[in-house]
Amino acid sequence: MEILGTLHRHTDFASALVAPRNVDVWLPPGYTAGSTAYPVVYMHDGQNLFDPALAYGGVDWGLDEAVVRLMQAGQIEGAIVVGIWNTGDDRWREYMPRKALAAPGAIERFGQEAGGEPLSDRYLEFLVGELKPFVDEHYRTLPGRQHTFVMGSSMGGLISLYALCEYPGVFGGAGCLSTHWPAAGGATIDYLQRALPAPGAHRLYFDYGTETLDAEYEPYQQRADAILRAAGYCPGVDWLTRRVEGAEHSERSWRERVHIPLLFLLQGRSA
């Protein structure tokens, strides 16, 4: 497998907050020979992004190829992608927004199903307080909110939205592909109503397919869209939702369309 650009793997990245895990930092072509600072996209399920031998189902997202294609087309100047590997057994607990479980007994019910309470607040504290400072120190980043993004699929879509809502001063946008809204009975929809930042300083991208697990998502997404619209988010400007006819819930589907959220987050443009 040939990776475009340069991939640095930080094995067993240590944390005082969560279990150690691998972290991949992908640098665009031209990084090593230049002095340009780049925006950063933090992505969950990092083992699925670059290498089909590591990816779930044997298909990776092709993030390196997607960014390079956008660069070659003159649509973006480049970006650093940070792939945060999940830890397998704790994935559900790390990605379920804890503050969405506000109903009486919700955290206890989740704990019974997931094998413990949600770890998402600690996971985001790790991302913001430990990992981002490391990346900003060791790589040429544009560290400000307007250049810092977070993205993932399924439960990774939920935790990306949660990251933006909990840390609106850190993240300028969130890409949420095939967001698994049904988790905990759709509790994140009610959380969004309470926690959505005011429009004007953030970009939010959502999408969903029409096949397999994605077929369940449209009514939830319509509710989320109504919240965004009522809050003053403007479609195509600071918020974009795409319905992808025929798309299933898989890395193969996300690979085919990841250039769309990348372009919208990095440039505020619709593909």
Beta-ladder partners of 40:
80, 148
pLDDT digits (tens, 9 = 90+) for 211-221: 999 999 999 99
Determine which helix (DSSP H) or strand (DSSP E) holds 137, and give its type and residue range: helix 132-138
Beta-ladder partners of 77:
none
Q: What is the pTM of this model?
A: 0.97
* pLDDT of the residue at 270: 76
The stretches in the chain having pLDDT less than 70 are 1, 271
Q: How far is CA 34 from CA 5, 28, 30, 66, 133, in A?
A: 13, 11, 6, 21, 22
Quote the CA–CA distance of 38 and 139 in Å, as a whole number.
9
Identify whether the C-beta of residue 233 lies closer than 8 Å to the C-beta of residue 199. Answer: yes
* pLDDT of the residue at 269: 75
Percentage of the chain exceeding pLDDT 90: 95
CA 121 to chain centre: 15
Place of tokens 């003053």: 232
Closest CA to 64 of 127, 2, 22: 2
What's the distance, Cα to Cα, between the start and end of the chain in Å? 28
Quote the CA–CA distance of 24 and 175 in Å, as a whole number.
19
In this structure, what token pair is assigned to residue 10? Answer: 């930080």
* pLDDT of the residue at 89: 86
Closest CA to 43 of 197, 157, 191: 157
Quote the CA–CA distance of 202 and 173 in Å, as a whole number.
5
Q: Domain ranges in the chain?
A: 6-266
Superfamily, domain 6-266: Alpha/Beta hydrolase fold, catalytic domain (3.40.50.1820)
Q: How far is CA 86 from CA 12, 43, 54, 161, 232, in A?
A: 11, 10, 12, 17, 34
